[in-house]
Amino acid sequence: MSQLLARGGRRLEGEVAVQGAKNSVLPILAATLLTEDRVELRGCPRLRDVDASIRILKSLGCEARWEGDSLLVDTAGLKSWSISDILMREMRSSAIFLGAILARCCQADLSYPGGCELGPRPIDLHLAGLRGMGAEIRECGGALLCRASRLLGRDLVLSLPSVGATENLMLAACGAEGTTTIANAAREPEIVDLQSFLNACGGRVSGAGTSTISVEGGRPLHGCSYRIMPDRVVAATYLCAAAAAGGSVYLRNAREEHLSAVTAVLREAGCGIRPDAEGIACCCTGRLRAVRPVRTAPYPGFPTDAQAILMGALLRSQGATVFEETIFENRYRHVDEFVRMGANIRTAGRVAVVTGVERLQGAPVRCTDLRGGAALCVVALAAEGETEISEISHIDRGYEDIARDLRALGADISRRDP
């Protein structure tokens, strides 16, 4: 089993480029099914979840291959509308293929998706929206059997701004007759990126980044060459690593407009954050200060994906910080691993109180999920001695090579494969 070995106590100094966004490329890979053509995705990160999406595309009859940091996808040979249970269980985001397959094939058979165990993440909003557009969906033994002789544009209202449901309905709407509006849509930058990709393929989508998205369906889509946006959670991870260990780093490609909720907290904690046209510089000296309560919320609020990572950075802060997790029920699974390293954290339901300590000590710890695993890397760089991080396959789902990137910033961290 692969492990990461990290020795803390080094200030970080250096520069690294931020990889393409995991949460952007996955729905875009599903969107390639709408084109019946070849697509080049530039700056595509090589991740476990991307590999899982490629396997899904190939199982449907499509072709995909790498050329450097570009992924070339050709969906002209699509011959199936069914995704096996094994492939669906590999990641939660596999549900995003439903809308695209249904739009292109008028039918789709798949099972409920898998992914990190962060608590219930139902796809009922996805299904309700598709049914509103005319799809007939039967749930049978954990499988979803979907049929639609045609999809019709509709005015859809989401009961909450679900990112996955917004994306799935955007894809389905591209193949529907007429115009679809999605009200109370999620506003994340990755949804803006999906809109930009669809429009680059000849679609007519507007409103992404606001709470109402409009999709004019029935337009034939073609292939294109498209660059994936930088990953804002990866950028937040490396900013928090510098905050935890101290130092001065520069993140090329990072965009503060995507990270303002995170950078605002880091500034409050005592970090110097200076964005420019090419990226973000971060300088941190001395112990951080505790900050006002951090409450996760849909974008533009504080991202749930950065909650564990920021918590890791604040373990040695002066004072106490309250975290409130409002998105997922089980997103404090990393806390026990932090405590093994000397952290002082009390949890009650969705609330965690972090009281800063003088010292953290390296220890054998394990990843509990993707972002919790990345947070352990942040903590390890602030701890004394060596930390051995196991079950890092979780980290591989969202970070192309976290050890490589942190070493570029001066960290003492390496990967040990069996």
Pairing type for strands 212-216 and 204-206 reads antiparallel
Query: By the 8 A CB rule, do 248 and 238 touch?
Result: no
Distance CA(193)–CA(190), nearest Å, equals 5
Q: How far is CA 404 from CA 17, 46, 244, 408, in A?
A: 11, 13, 18, 6
28 token code pair: 């875009």
pLDDT for 114 equals: 54
Strand partners, 146: 108, 137
Query: By the 8 A CB rule, do 150 and 110 touch?
Result: no
Residues 6+ apart with CB under 8 A from 132: 154, 156
Give the angle 21-27-33 at the CA atoms, nearest 5°.
135
Q: Dihedral angle at the C-alpha atoms of 31, 32, 33, 36, nearest 10 degrees?
A: 140
Query: By the 8 A CB rule, do 213 and 200 touch?
Result: no
The yes-or-no answer on residue 62 being catalytic is: no
Per-residue pLDDT tens digits for 150-159: 999 999 999 9
Query: By the 8 A CB rule, do 172 and 130 touch?
Result: yes
By C-alpha distance, which of 394, 352, 411 is closest to 9? 411
Q: How many CB atoms lie within 10 A of CB 397?
A: 25
Distance CA(63)–CA(227), nearest Å, equals 19
3-state secondary structure of 56: helix
By C-alpha distance, which of 27, 23, 14 is closest to 232? 23
Q: How far is CA 290 from CA 19, 217, 273, 313, 383, in A?
A: 30, 49, 17, 10, 18
pTM as predicted? 0.96
3-state secondary structure of 245: helix
Query: By the 8 A CB rule, do 321 and 293 touch?
Result: yes
Give the angle 333-339-341 at the CA atoms, nearest 5°.
120
Helix (H) or strand (E) holding 139: strand 136-140
**Catalytic pick from 116, 146, 201, 224?**
116
What stretches in the chain show pLDDT beneath 70?
114-121
Residue 217 identity (one-letter amino acid): G
